[in-house]
Amino acid sequence: MTKPSEQKTVGVAVAHSQAHSACCGHSHAHAPEASLLPSASRRQWVKGLAAAPLLAGPCAAAYADNTRPASDAIRPAIDLARDLRHLAHGVDAVARIEPFSITPSNLPWSQTLGDLNAGQQVTFFLNGLWWFSKEHGRWLEPGFVFFARVAGNGGASPIHNTMQNTGTLTADRAGRLQIARAAGEFAGPGGELAVPPAQYLAGDGRIEGVAVVWNANAEDGLLALSAQGDVQGLVRSELQRMRLARLMPAGWHNFFSFGDGSIFTEGPGQRIDCETHKNVGILQYPLVDQPLQPGLTLDWRWVVERLPSHLPEDQLLSHDYLSIAVEFDDGQDITYLWSSGLPVGKVFRCPIPGWDAVETHVVQRSGLTDLGKPFDERRDLHEDYRRIVGGKATRAVRVWLIANSLFLRQIGRCAYRRIAIGQTNRLQRIL
């Protein structure tokens, strides 16, 4: 069994070794030898490296659009807190307002924002940016890299990631409210570092934020604030996020390192709607019992309205896409995407360091002509795994929905109307 320290060493080594190939114009796609496949336990940490500073490959400039953040992208937290205190005057629901700044020099969980009672809620309003390739003008929204947790006598709560630039945490225990930032450097839902502190401190960016701690229900408090006005549209944004969060598809859960960005919502007829904008979301659905045997198929119907990338998705800085995926018990997954221009049937390993060790992409459809039309799809998972991965998996364990628009910061939109997996005579109907 691999020790935790070994997991980290191996994972960092994999990410570093793939950094060049992931950003170069030439292809390094391959199916790994079975002996080199990471374990399922190690895989969760490896996946967490998805947005690490390793993303800034020197040859990725080929697809850099050289976008730049607005000159006023970072507003001091003290100014934001002043405006919110003015707005909150006379609103009894507000217990306190805490401004904060997070810089590269702040180690995880070293900053605290006072105590919370069990069940107490706190809303975060964020601005700023975090660079993953300053040279190429690529940055992450503050909501993607901001995390919070509550540390009490019995330990700390699972980490909470807002994913958007507003978000609300409900304390699952009494304790200190702690904050941190990470761009893929956490090992798991506890918030432990998976990289050396020196690598973590080499990050570049700044987050300015305010925590509004509530005496009562956060949504009621936000409605009370909204009745008196708004600050840069932040109150309205959080109320809208809360409404969308209530539409989370039943039975699905978010991948731990990304949180809930309200990218996926349950629509009419139990369909799943998806819209991503400069964000990323992964939904996971656990499977009952799906042995990886001949005849195992994945069936789905989808409508893709808009693609988030107009450039080849097999390159690092244009790797924005919409897809459905299946995860196997050896930690590998195969994800079927709609490409803007890559040929149907093309197979490539994920260009993101860390994910390249565990994820294979298959172009299911391509081009813009058929956008907006519904399509029924079927994949033979046993044959695809044998041909593409060639590992030692014995069963399929999860179905994923993936929507990424972090790199080009465009909009992707689609809907899933049916999902089923299994043998022909005993399909598990997910949707």
Q: Looking at 154-163, 369-378, 392-401, which range is the least confident one?
A: 154-163
Residue whose pair of structure tokens reads 């598990």 in the numeric block: 428
Closest-CA residue to 361 (of 339, 392, 390, 341): 339
| Helix 234-245, helix 218-226: angle, nearest 10 | 140
In which band, very low, low, confident or very high, does the pLDDT at 259 lie, cut at 50, 70 and 90?
low
325 Cβ partners below 8 Å, 6+ apart? 333, 334, 335, 336, 359, 399, 400, 401, 402
pLDDT at site 73: 66
Q: Is the pLDDT of residue 375 over 60?
A: yes
Euclidean distance between CA atoms 113 and 115, whole angstroms: 7
CA dist 96 → 89, 93, 116, 237 (Å)? 11, 9, 11, 20
Of 52, 21, 16, 47, give the one whose Cα is nearest residue 132. Answer: 52
pLDDT at 177 over 60: yes
CATH topology of domain 4-63+248-429: Jelly Rolls (2.60.120)
Window from 41-50, 67-76, 312-321, 404-413 with minimum mean pLDDT: 41-50
pLDDT exceeds cutoff 60 at 47: no
**For the chain, which residues make up each domain, given as ranges?**
4-63+248-429, 77-242
Distance CA 48, CA 376 (A): 32
pLDDT at 7 over 50: no
Q: How does pLDDT run across 183-193, given as a tens digit for each residue? A: 888 988 899 99
Tell me, what's the pLDDT at 154? 87
Q: Is the pTM of this model over 0.85?
A: no
* 397: phi then psi, degrees, rounded to nearest 5: -115, -25
Cα 206 from Cα 316, distance rounded (Å)? 24
For the chain, the average pLDDT equals 84
pLDDT higher than 80, residue 58: no
pLDDT per residue as tens digits for the range 296-318: 999 999 999 999 999 999 998 89
| pLDDT tens digits, 213-257 | 999 999 999 999 999 999 999 999 999 888 888 888 889 988 866
Which strand (E) or helix (H) includes residue 245? helix 234-245
Question: Higher-confidence residue: 263 or 334?
Answer: 334
Strongest mean pLDDT among 59-68, 251-260, 365-374: 365-374
Task: Using alpha carbons, select from 57, 52, 48, 29 the residue that is nearest to residue 282.
Answer: 48
User: What is the percent of the chain with per-residue pLDDT over 90, rounded to a whole number?
Assistant: 64
Q: How far apart are the first and last CA of the chain?
A: 37
pLDDT at 359: 97
> Distance between CA 312 and CA 309 in Å, rounded?
8
CB distance 210 to 162 below 8 Å: no
Give residue 92's pLDDT: 95
Q: Would strands 155-156 and 321-328 be described as parallel, antiparallel, or unpaired?
A: unpaired
